[in-house]
A and B are shown apart, each in its own frame.
Chain A
Amino acid sequence: MLAMNFRGPFQIRPDRNRPMPEIMHPYDAIVRVTRSLICGSDLHLYHGLVPDTRVGMTFGHEFTGVVEEIGSGVQKLKVGDRVLVPFNIACGSCPFCKQELYGNCHEANSEATAVGGFFGYAHTGGGYDGGQAEYVRVPYADVSPTIIPAGMDEENAVLLTDVVPTGYQAAEQGGIQKGDTVVVFGAGPIGLMTARFAWFFGAARVIVIDELDYRLEFARKFAFAEAYNFREMKDPVVFLKKATDYYGADVCIDAVGCEASGMALQTITGKGLLMQAGTATAFHWAVNSVKKGGIVSIIGVYGPPWNLVPLGSIMNKGITIRGNQASVKRLLPKLIDHIMSGRINPKEIITHRFPLEEVSDAYRMFSKKLDNIIKPLLIPPRAYAA
């Protein structure tokens, strides 16, 4: 079958000779992929920043498809079902799943206890091949995969596997109260979605900070946000303090993660020397821009080892920090309703569509932010098969 094949940092190829996935466990299903997205966090893999990313792996944790085969223990899904597959692989029965922490399942990732099981996200994410392929093995098929509601656009469905719930949870983690001023760092797909959902929780102001003007313009239109370029600021923290009456924002959200720009020390030690797990610039700004007693929500992805962070300010300001991988299954009913009711149309963020055969071009364009790209979609050749 055709699938994306990782060959090393900045090197991938479409490979027509990948083996077909097989049922390995009674609770497995094989899904024929019909739509697959490239996530900003896939770029961390592409850039070689995530440990235990092995050559030969297929990435992709945001996909929809059709169930082609099921294991002997699968009861809820049947062959032919059109499903959206949350990026979390979850058993549904461990204490974490029972408490709806589906992104923290204890039975999906042997290789890192700090990380849940994710499709196509290195062996640090459990070593599962992902959905940037024609077919994919889906473990615990009865738990997270969800039948796409009748009438839902498939591009909205595929965004429900990660981007929409992740953006929603970022806002939710912020504990936003009615009337709050919310600052979102990052105008990538997750930041845009977070900014959009901040209003759902009652924000009175939503401010987005990024360095790319085309993305800031998109944030103004899609997320109805005030949007500013930090390259035009001497110090983003002072800007945000001034913008919030020298009080600080009520909630700051880091939707950038480990590849942020803007602070030389972070860039040199994080991206240049790999002495920390990427750059914690956005988090640093968030801690320093939020009010005393405020909340910082982290949804940007960081590597597992460590980062330079302002612990003193966190303690002295009494800041509450909340972060987690999105618990997609927990949020799906609410988010499906938001989409089906027309309150949000997430597919507006998909700016580029590529055949799977052009996956390496898609990665390069996304990585280099070419052609005003926001979110690239991959369409496998068998997507339209009967």
Chain B
Amino acid sequence: MQEVLEERIDEFQDRKIADRNMDDRTKDIPGWGMDADPENDPTYPMKHWTGADHDRLNYEKAPQQPIDREVFHSIERPGVTRVFGTSTPPAGLSGAVRRYAYKYSEATATHWMTLILADRIDVIQGKINDLKHGILPNPWIERGWRAEWKHNRTAFIGRMATTALLITAGIMLLNRKNRK
């Protein structure tokens, strides 16, 4: 099978091509640069143009933080940044799903929707891990119900009662079906 174009293209050639064009081609292009206006910069003052953009990735970089754990990086960049976060490395099934997601660029639905799926799997993994460590679910604290009880009691009781009713109705319905 033929390689896709992005696999055939040379990396880090943009500025070389641009510089070559600036040296050779542009002087033969009628009107090139005649109307260039450095003041016409709608990004100012958020961005102070220094020309650094044209350095691309050729800047002085910090030392690399030791990559002593699995760190994903977007396929839209060449590697891991010089520092990176060490919170919650990928683990288990959710980690495997995330690993798959990072094979796709940030421009794809596959990347982001797969990450959302991994997040939901991670919640279940988290519950299992909690139980393994003897931590029982505590919605009173974890869901902030204590605050609702204090500041939103009537609505909170109403919501809880509705939920309890729906669950009871569901159980009764299931029981009736099972009896048949």
- A residues touching B (Cβ–Cβ < 8 Å)? 7-14, 24-28, 48, 51-58, 73, 89, 91, 93-96, 98-101, 106-114, 117, 123-129, 137, 139-140, 169, 172-173, 274, 303-305, 320, 322, 324, 327, 360-365, 367-368, 370-371
Contact = CB atoms under 8 A, between A and B. Distances in A.
Interface stretch (B16-24, B83-91, B164-172): B83-91
A364 B152 CA distance: 11
B116 A274 contact: yes
Interface string B65-85: 110000111101101111111
A291 to B, nearest CB: 17
Contacts of B55: 95
A43 to B, nearest CB: 12
Contacts of B31: none
B46 to A, nearest CB: 6
A360 B149 CA distance: 13
A98 B53 CA distance: 9
A348 B94 CA distance: 42
B175 interface: no
Interface of B: 42-43, 45-50, 52-53, 55-57, 59-63, 65-66, 71-74, 76-77, 79-88, 90, 94, 98, 101-102, 106, 109, 112-113, 115-116, 118-120, 122-123, 125-127, 130, 138-139, 141-148, 151-152
Contacts of B77: 106, 110, 113
B59 A98 contact: yes
Contacts of A320: 42
B28 to A, nearest CB: 29
A124 B151 CA distance: 34
Given A25-B83, A95-B52, A99-B49, A8 B126 contact: yes
Contacts of A54: 87-88, 90, 94, 119, 122
6 contacts: A11-B142, A95-B53, A106-B81, A110-B71, A368-B152, A370-B148
Task: Identify whether the interface residues of A are mostly helix, strand, loop, or mixed.
Answer: loop
Contacts of A94: 59, 61
A140 B61 CA distance: 12
Task: Identify whether the interface residues of B are mostly helix, strand, loop, or mixed.
Answer: loop
Given A95-B56, A305-B109, A100 B47 contact: yes
Contacts of A305: 109, 112-113
Contacts of A93: 59-62
A57 B91 CA distance: 13
Given A51-B119, A99-B50, A113-B74, A57 B144 contact: no
A89 B83 contact: yes
Given A52-B98, A173-B46, A363-B144, A304 B53 contact: no
Nearest to A124: B115
A112 B106 CA distance: 7
A11 B145 CA distance: 10
Nearest to B145: A364
Given A52-B119, A53-B119, A327-B46, A91 B82 contact: yes
Contacts of B82: 25, 91, 107
A364 B143 contact: yes
B42 A360 contact: no
A128 to B, nearest CB: 4
B72 A110 contact: yes
Given A12-B142, A114-B106, A304-B112, A107 B62 contact: yes
